[in-house]
Each structure stands twice: as C-alpha cells, then as structure tokens.
Amino acid sequence: MDQESELVERLRNGEPAAFDAVYDAFNGRLFTFLRRLSRRGDVAEDLLEETWLRLVKHAPRLDANTRLGPWLFTVARNLHVSYVRSRVLEDSVTGALAPFWPSGADRPSPFEATAGRELERRIERALASLPAASREVLLLIGVAGLDHSDAADVCGITPEALRQRLHRARTLLARALEADTRAGEPALGDTTS
Amino acid sequence: MTDPLLRLLRDLPPATLDSSRAERIRARCHAALARRPHRDRIWDSAADLWAPIAAGFGGIYLTAVLREALAAYGL
C-alpha cells in the first residue's frame, strides 16, 4: 500500500491526523486556485471551506485508489462552477446585468493591489481578464502543478481537449500580457512633448 | 516546466489564507469527523436491519398467499 492509499484508508476511518496531513498538503494550493479562479477572497474562502467539508462527508466512501489532489481540485472546481451559475441566475433575476466579473484591466482587485512586483501585477491582471475556462486550465497546470491527465479529469474533458484548451488559454494570456504592456507604455505625444 | 508563460504562472506568489479562517475550517472539519462515526453506526445498523425486515415481510406475504390458495381449493 503506497503512502497516499494509506492516507485515504486513514481518512476513511475518520482519523483527524490523516485529515490534518491532507489539509496541510493541499490547503494553500487549493486556496490559491480558488482565489485566482473566483477573483474574490471571500468567495474563495467559502468555497475552500465547503471543499474540505465535502472531503470529510465523502471520506467513508472514498475508493482506496483515490488520488486526493485531483479529487480535491475537482470538488473545488465544481463548487466554483455552481457558484458562478447561481450568481448568473441571481443577476438575471435582479436584473443586474453588469458583467459578472469586473475587468481587472480597468481597476485592480485587492489581490492585485497586494502583488508586490510589477510583473506579478501584470500577470495577475492578464490572468484575471481571461475567460473562466482558460483561467481554470492555466491555474490547474501552471499554478497548482497538476499534470495534463489530472487537469483533464478535474475539468471533465479528454486530455486532447485539455491540450487544445491549454493552447488557446496560453495564446490568450500572451495576448493579454502584450496588451497590458502596450497600455503601460507612455503615449507617443508624452515622449515628444 | 519549460513553457515560459507557465513558468511565470508557477512563480506567482501563493494566495494567503487568513490564519484564523484556516484554523476555523480545520476545527469545523474535525468536529464533522468526530460526529461522523456515530452517524455512520446508525446507518450501518439500519442497513443491517433492512434485510431481515424485508425477509420477514416476504415470509408473511407468502404465508398469506399460501393460506388464500389453500382456502380457495377448500383444503
């Protein structure tokens, strides 16, 4: 029995120490994923808490071969999808048809404001401006460190579809970074006056 | 990871969760874990009882059918 299977077995038995080991290993990565995916700290915290509660609830029924990383990211990602759907419904009911996600390019989010370096701020802005599906795949692979196969499982798509989505996301990110760079350059009139 | 764009993403600083919130989440999960065995025992007991109860009702039903059938033939 490998280390992860043993951890899963202990989780199934409800051992708090096993939960702590999983929590310590994944909490930071999960929060970073949810924080950048949702672009809101309060939402990310709520989704994170629900993700861990789901693990506790489903622990007795976990398969012995469950890989905890992909399992947790799948739950976190699905909770975010549900959250977005509920917000879209809420917005349509209230008639508030403003864009659901504010554009990070116009107004820096609190998260961007805390990013210390200019390059980090630019990447955060570019990432925040991408469609959720593109941001999600970049975060899973680039930030959370999942391999392509696991990321495809998390997104519920085939590895080939993931490869295409990643390629598209990468192109969009590069374009957004270029646009951000151009926007940051002084206008021609400023330099000649 | 050789892709320069993905490397940029990897090098972003991790988001930091407020430590009090992190501990609250942990405590809530521990509490849920502590509650779980009792509830699971109840469900296990219910699952254990289900088969004999079903067998009992089945037996009663078959006995009644048999009696009706015998009565119909005047036996």
Chain centroid, CA A82 distance in Å:
14
Whether B25 maps to a domain, the answer reads: yes
Residue among B17, B32, B40 whose CB faces A31 most closely: B17
Range(s) of the domain holding residue B60? 18-72
At residue B75 the predicted structure's pLDDT band, cuts being 50, 70 and 90, is confident
Q: Residues of A with CB below 8 A from B24's CB? A: 49
Among all chains, which residue has been given the structure tokens 């490869």? A163
For chain A, the average pLDDT equals: 85
Position A106 scores a pLDDT of 47
pTM for the model stands at 0.72
pLDDT score of A38: 92
Tell me, yes or no, whether B7 lies in a domain. no
Residue pair B17/A31 in contact (Cβ under 8 Å)? The answer is yes
Question: Per residue in A118-144, pLDDT tens?
Answer: 888 889 889 999 999 999 999 999 989
The chain A residue lying nearest B37, using CA atoms, is A14
Domain positions in chain A are: 1-101, 105-184
Q: Is B66 part of a structural domain of the chain? A: yes
Q: Does B42 touch chain A (CB under 8 A)?
A: no
Residue B28 resides in a domain: yes
List CB contacts (< 8 A) between B16 and chain A. Answer: 31
A33-61: pLDDT as tens digits: 999 999 999 999 999 999 999 999 999 99
How many independent structural domains does chain B possess? 1
Q: Which pair of tokens denotes residue A55?
A: 């693990």
For residue A12, pLDDT over 80 is answered with yes
How many CA atoms within 13 Å lie on the side-chain side of A16? Answer: 10
Average pLDDT value over all residues in chain B: 84
> ipTM above 0.85?
no
Residue B30 is assigned to a structural domain of this protein: yes
Contacts of A124 in chain B (CB under 8 A): 12
CATH class label, A105-184: mainly alpha
Quick check: A191 pLDDT over 80? no
Q: Is residue B24 part of a domain?
A: yes
Q: Is residue B22 part of a domain?
A: yes
- For residue range B40-60, list pLDDT tens digits in order: 555 555 666 788 889 999 999
Fold for A1-101, please state it: Rna Polymerase Sigma Factor; Chain: A (1.10.1740)
Q: What are phi and psi of A113, to 5 degrees?
A: -65, -30
| Preferred mutation among A23, A79, A180 to probe B, highest tally of B CBs within 10 A | A23
Question: Distance between CA atoms of A33 and A44, rounded to whole angstroms?
Answer: 9
Distance CA A95, CA A54 (A): 32
Is B2 a domain residue? no
